[in-house]
Amino acid sequence: MSLLRTSLAAIALGLAMPALAQDVIRIGAPLPITGPLSPEAVKQQRGYDLWAETANKAGGVRVGDRRMRVEIVYVDYQSNTPRAVQAAERLITQDKVNFLFSPFGSGAAKAASTVSEKYQVPTIAATASSAQVYDQGYKYLFGTFTPNDTLTEPLADIVKAQAPGVNRVAILARNDLFPLAIAQEMEKSAKARGMRVVYSEKYAIGTLDHASALTQIKAQAPHWIFATGYTNDLVLMRKQMADLKIEAPIVTMIAAPAYQEFIDSAGKGAENITSAAWWHPAVRYKGTDIFGTTEAYVQAFKAKYRADPDYGEASASAAGALLQMAIEKAGTLDRQKVRDELANLNVTTFWGPVKFGPTGQINSLVPPVFQIQGAKPIVIHPPEVKQGDLRLGVQ
Amino acid sequence: MLYLQVLLNGLVLGGLFACIAAGFSLVWGVLNVINILHGSFIVLGAYAAWYGHALWGIHPFVSILLVAPLFFALGYAIQSGLLNRVIAAPVLLTLTLTFGLDLMLSNAMLAAFKADFRKLVLDPPLGVLSLGNIVLPVDRLAAMALALLLTLLLYLVLSRSRTGRAIVAVRMDREAASLMGVNVYRTYAITFGLGALMAGVAGPLIAMIFPISPLTGPVYLGKAFVVCVLGGLGSVPGAMVGGLVLGVVESFAALWFGPEHAVTVAFALLIAMLVFRPTGLLGRKGYE
Amino acid sequence: MSNPAMAALHTAARRDLGLACLLFALMALPPFVADTYILRLGTTMLMYAVLALSWNFIGGMAGYPSFATAAFFGLGAYAGGVAQKFGIGMWLAWGFAGLLALLFAAALGLALLRLRGHYFAIASLVVAEVLREIINSATDLTGGGMGLNLPLRTGQSVEQQADFFYWTMLGLAAVAMAATLAVQHGRLGFGLRCIQQNESAADMLGVNTTATKTSAFALSAVFTGIAGAIYASWVNYIEPPDVFDVLYSVKPIVMVLLGGAGSAFGPIIGAGVFLGLEEIVWRRFLEVHSGVLGLLIVLLVLFLPRGLAGIARRRARGHTP
């Protein structure tokens, strides 16, 4: 369906602007359009489509002295990682795309990166944060999320500074690449500041009941509860915490609180929950990319989708915008040259300052830390863009 | 105190497991059919309750009454229309058939409802019950009570009504029952209908407690398997005992081995039971 | 057996062997003409052919509905992967994976093969779940939920790698096929068929049912395990939910049913037809692909319980292999 829609849109655009060159830049985007991860695919698609539309409306991407339209080719890999790898190969060999966007999440991005590396196709991962994704020494993979410790370190700093009595930490992580990796980083960050980790366990994917784990956590009387998982895991956990009357000065959850769905589902339970993400609509950057400033990006997103963008959607748009900048700098679609330009990028964009480290993962962002206050995410760090201060106490 | 809370957590969950498994056990015991659709029926019932609540404010307890006849009809239709054709076929074929049907239903639900999780939020919420240091959520207690009630109702139907006795007779000896004038195929259809009904009414209870999504079907099915093996096939008291045992086992396994192992321990227990005592904890097949 | 029966058996065996050689010779051609994506499809098909042929030993010939295929596959994938992590060479790692799967199946068989019908099915299904969680927890050894990386092959171009894995899988399928033919036309096959018809009678006739069943179960594991290890080397990154996916147990069964249980060629034909259909469905029916798969299965069971080979056999008027 989306392939059809994209093709129709591309045809319509092409017919509407006959003066433009007919050449097209094709970018492959394998997404979990069906299956458990489909809500994430929707976000990614919104981000990519907004970028493609914006670029095409401005006349297309400058390649040397021509302008070329952008077309995103979507393939559904059914939330199944082996199929994601297959989809990546299909996009390269059959659909003959010029570049690739990674599939969703650290696991699938890592799996598919082997294909991009084999075929030497520049690939940007919009949703892969775990350093493990980038540890193979590949040259063609780039990521827009900074490593997990860039989220946990500022969090730990803030807690240490503003809640010095906190020193018992309980960690409960979903046994999945990203949630587990970031929980491990949290453990390190907490211990590095002299806090005691009194509980650290993982729960299986698909767990429907956290009562036992939470009962144990309650028995440890922690000051800081750190939980990772996807939206449904964390909503359930929050409810069960209330069921068991668990209270703590600080409760941090990653990654759901950034999404409106979490706030809606958790209701009053979302109040004072802290979280961190790689971007927030409240940050203010003046970028040299196609969107320009962060406010301009948020406006454009709101105009098209009638909602504020979250970090997943923004990251997808950023991936497109960055690819565009690299192509324009290279002046050609030659994969090697575009790859080199990506590696040498050192720019400011609506997404933040962008510089890719030696592994291909971005290392220049300062991820915002935020807290749900009054049913809205309020940025409490970094100081330049903060909207409020940390509040203690989660009932 | 910790142990008491963990025990109670487990028992409360166990009551729900009993209800989930009772219908499944019945179908397996009487028709010798493993109904892979069972998990998806539960999820479908949960969605029915969710939509009833979201669109018309129908309380899940009321949804139970509405859902029951619908699912009975659905089960009856599936059995008499499709399963009856292969009822005499080897185990593999019936298993594969229900698996294929489940794929279709599961996909239909995924397409209709999307994969994101929904939560049925009662307003005002039912709150929690505090007994000293022990905290029990009222919604779970209510669900457990209803679950046990429904399971008890099933047991009464089977032991007191004519249809129920017919089902038991077919379970014990198909040929003899047939000679006694029992319409075996109709009994099969009724049994499957009852199984679907039990799954359907478990749905609203599930919706009250857990987030629902078409993807959770296999999880409930897995629980049903373990409960059946623990409690003995085709036995409703067995399902009750098996359910409670499973709830407690999972609760303590999470405590002693870590939460990620809770389900693994349950499955390992399943294998152990199959190897050493396949007739289940209650020992005998059939009804008492 | 009387002499005419023996002669008929030998003719059947030779005919089957000839057909198999022809089939595999044909299947060796694609790397010369097809692109890497088609080869990927082909390699996947051959992998499933191995799984289907393997299942056929315990499910088709012995009549024990095993759902343990995913367990053996995942075990083989991780055995191969972890072995290579410790520096063991690829071929040796594959052999190790096969051996481990075989021993595991033999041990498992002691406990499970005493069960019949549904009980056996469930127990075998659950084994995969338990194995998956065990591997998920051994984070230091296997990477747990974060997955296991296998090194990329150096010194080979993309096309050469595609060819390599295609022929490797083809080789494994050929070995599995040879084993199938050998078993089917030999004493083990005879014993298995007896067990399938009536196990108690077979026991009374002097068939060592325990040894026979266990051999079949072990055979169903060894090739599957090696296939898992090859798969891991092929995709370079594995995670527990991927390699222990229950569909690795279910799809081979459907393929054998589709192709016709009891025929040596059924599994391969079933694998080819099934995957061809799946590829077409993937390209056309984005939202409803698993529903369409389910529909296919339902239609298969209701109208074609003897599979495609069953149609062929009906045409040939009752020749039993």
pLDDT in tens, C261-302: 767 888 999 999 988 888 887 767 666 777 888 888 888 888
- The answer to whether the Cβ–Cβ distance between C289 and A81 falls below 8 Å is no
Three-state SS at B212: strand
Whether residue B32 lies within 8 A of chain C, CB to CB, comes out as yes
A vs C: CB pairs below 8 A: 79
Give the span between the Cα atoms of A291 and A54, in whole angstroms.
8
What is the pLDDT confidence band of residue B288, given thresholds at 50, 70 and 90? very low
pLDDT, average across residues A156-181: 90
Is residue B107 included in any domain, yes or no? yes
% of chain B at pLDDT higher than 70: 98
Give the span between the Cα atoms of A368 and A356, in whole angstroms.
19
The packing angle between helices C69-85 and C90-112, to 10°, is: 140
- The answer to whether the Cβ–Cβ distance between B115 and A211 falls below 8 Å is no
Q: What is the pTM of this model?
A: 0.85
pLDDT in tens, A94-118: 899 999 999 998 888 988 998 899 8
Which residue type does B67 have? V
Q: Are A130 and C146 in contact (CB under 8 A)?
A: yes
Chain A residues with beta carbon closer than 8 angstroms to that of B9: 211-212, 215
What is the pLDDT confidence band of residue C321, given thresholds at 50, 70 and 90? very low
Chain B residues with beta carbon closer than 8 angstroms to that of C59: 92
Closest-CA residue of chain C to A118: C158
Whether residue A58 lies within 8 A of chain B, CB to CB, comes out as no
Q: In this model, does residue A2 exceed pLDDT 70?
A: no
CB atoms within 10 A of CB B95: 25
CB atoms within 10 A of CB B10: 25
Which residue type does A171 have? I
> Which residue of A1, A76, A93 is the best one to mutate when testing the C interface, meaning the one whose CB has the most C CBs within 10 A?
A93
Is residue B85 included in any domain, yes or no? yes
Whether residue C289 lies within 8 A of chain A, CB to CB, comes out as yes
pLDDT score for A15: 47
User: What is the enclosing helix (H) or strand (E) of B106?
Assistant: helix B91-113
pLDDT score for B235: 81
User: What is the enclosing helix (H) or strand (E) of B151?
Assistant: helix B138-160
- The answer to whether the Cβ–Cβ distance between A201 and B128 falls below 8 Å is no
Return the top range by mean pLDDT from A319-328, B271-280, C155-164: A319-328
Q: In this model, does residue B48 exceed pLDDT 70?
A: yes
Q: In this model, does residue A256 exceed pLDDT 80?
A: yes
pLDDT score for A275: 93
Closest-CA residue of chain C to A83: C242
By mean pLDDT, which of A255-259, A323-327, C7-11 is the weakest? Answer: C7-11
Residues 6+ apart with CB under 8 A from B186: none
Give the span between the Cα atoms of A340 and A359, in whole angstroms.
13
Q: In this model, does residue B286 exceed pLDDT 50?
A: no
Say if residue B61 is exposed, middle or buried (CB neighbours under 10 Å; 0-12, 13-18, 19+).
middle
Give the span between the Cα atoms of A183 and A130, in whole angstroms.
11
B73: DSSP letter: H
Is residue B119 included in any domain, yes or no? yes
pLDDT score for C310: 66
Is residue B200 included in any domain, yes or no? yes
pLDDT in tens, B49-100: 999 998 888 888 888 899 999 999 999 999 988 888 887 778 788 888 998 9
> Which residue of A89, A119, A184 is the best one to mutate when testing the C interface, meaning the one whose CB has the most C CBs within 10 A?
A89
Q: Are A178 and A205 in contact (CB under 8 A)?
A: no
- The answer to whether the Cβ–Cβ distance between B9 and A236 falls below 8 Å is no
Q: In this model, does residue B178 exceed pLDDT 80?
A: yes
Interface pTM (ipTM) of the complex?
Answer: 0.81
Give the span between the Cα atoms of C307 and C52, in whole angstroms.
14
Which residue type does B127 have? G
Give the span between the Cα atoms of C228 and C245, in whole angstroms.
12
SS3 readout for chain C: CCHHHHHHHHHHHHHHHHHHHHHHHHHCCHHHHCCHHHHHHHHHHHHHHHHHHHHHHHHHHCCCCCCCHHHHHHHHHHHHHHHHHCCCCHHHHHHHHHHHHHHHHHHHHHHHCCCCHHHHHHHHHHHHHHHHHHHHHCHHHHCHHHCEECCCCCCCCHHHHHHHHHHHHHHHHHHHHHHHHHHHCCHHHHHHHHHHHCHHHHHHCCCCHHHHHHHHHHHHHHHHHHHHHHHHHHHCEECHHHHCCCHHHHHHHHHHHHHCCCCCCHHHHHHHHHHHHHHHHHHHCCCCHHHHHHHHHHHHHHHCCCHHHHHHHHHCCCCCC
pLDDT in tens, A118-134: 899 999 999 998 888 89
Single out the residue of A142, A147, A113, A155 nearest to residue A131, CA to CA: A147
pLDDT score for B287: 36
* Residue A304 in tokens: 């098209």
By mean pLDDT, which of A200-209, B179-188, C309-318 is the weakest? Answer: C309-318
Q: In this model, does residue A386 exceed pLDDT 50?
A: yes
* Residue C43 in tokens: 């390699």
B208: DSSP letter: H
Q: Rg of chain B over CA atoms, in angstroms?
A: 19
Is residue B65 included in any domain, yes or no? yes
Q: In this model, does residue A16 exceed pLDDT 70?
A: no
What is the pLDDT confidence band of residue C12, given thresholds at 50, 70 and 90? confident
Is residue B244 included in any domain, yes or no? no
Give the span between the Cα atoms of A248 and B69, in whole angstroms.
46
Give the span between the Cα atoms of C50 and C37, in whole angstroms.
20
- Summary mean pLDDT of chain A: 88
Q: In this model, does residue C153 exceed pLDDT 80?
A: no
Closest-CA residue of chain C to A81: C242
Return residues 145-184 of C near A (CB < 8 Å): 145-147, 149, 152, 158, 161
Single out the residue of C202, C200, C201 nearest to residue C192, CA to CA: C202
pLDDT score for B102: 93
pLDDT in tens, A38-92: 888 999 999 999 999 999 999 999 998 899 999 999 998 888 888 898 899 989 9
pLDDT, average across residues A296-317: 93
Q: Cα-flanking dihedrals φ and ψ of residue B89, to 5°?
A: -75, 165
Give the span between the Cα atoms of A177 and A165, in whole angstroms.
32
Distances (CA, A) of A132 to A112, A179, B42, B113: 14, 13, 39, 34
Return residues 167-196 of A near B (CB < 8 Å): 172, 175
pLDDT score for C5: 65
pLDDT score for A14: 43
pLDDT in tens, B242-267: 999 999 999 999 888 888 888 888 88
**CA of C70 vs chain A CAs: smallest distance (Å):** 15
Three-state SS at B5: helix
Q: Are B110 and A34 in contact (CB under 8 A)?
A: yes
User: What is the enclosing helix (H) or strand (E) of B79?
Assistant: helix B60-81
Residues 6+ apart with CB under 8 A from B276: none
Per the structure, the count of domains in chain B is: 1
Which residue type does B91 have? V
Q: Are B7 and B251 in contact (CB under 8 A)?
A: yes
CB atoms within 10 A of CB A328: 15
pLDDT score for C312: 62
By mean pLDDT, which of A256-260, B162-166, C144-148, C204-208 is the weakest? Answer: C144-148
Three-state SS at B84: helix
CB atoms within 10 A of CB C29: 9
- The answer to whether the Cβ–Cβ distance between B115 and A172 falls below 8 Å is no
% of chain A at pLDDT higher than 70: 94
pLDDT score for C316: 58
Whether residue A50 lies within 8 A of chain B, CB to CB, comes out as no
Q: In this model, does residue A9 exceed pLDDT 80?
A: no
Segments forming the whole domain that contains residue B212: 2-216
Q: In this model, does residue A8 exceed pLDDT 80?
A: no
- Summary mean pLDDT of chain C: 86
Closest-CA residue of chain C to A94: C37
pLDDT score for C206: 84
Q: In this model, does residue A11 exceed pLDDT 60?
A: no
Say if residue A15 is exposed, middle or buried (CB neighbours under 10 Å; 0-12, 13-18, 19+).
exposed
Is residue B239 included in any domain, yes or no? no
pLDDT score for B283: 57
Chain A residues with beta carbon closer than 8 angstroms to that of B265: none
> Which residue of B4, B6, B8, B9 is the best one to mutate when testing the A interface, meaning the one whose CB has the most A CBs within 10 A?
B9
What is the pLDDT confidence band of residue C212, given thresholds at 50, 70 and 90? very high
Helices (H), B161-276: 162-172, 174-179, 184-209, 217-231, 236-257, 262-276
Q: In this model, does residue A17 exceed pLDDT 90?
A: no
- The answer to whether the Cβ–Cβ distance between C290 and B93 falls below 8 Å is no
Return the top range by mean pLDDT from C14-28, C195-209, C216-230: C216-230
Is residue B256 included in any domain, yes or no? no
Which residues, in sequence order, are bridge partners of residue A253? Answer: A227
Q: Cα-flanking dihedrals φ and ψ of residue C211, to 5°?
A: -65, -40
- The answer to whether the Cβ–Cβ distance between B259 and A38 falls below 8 Å is no
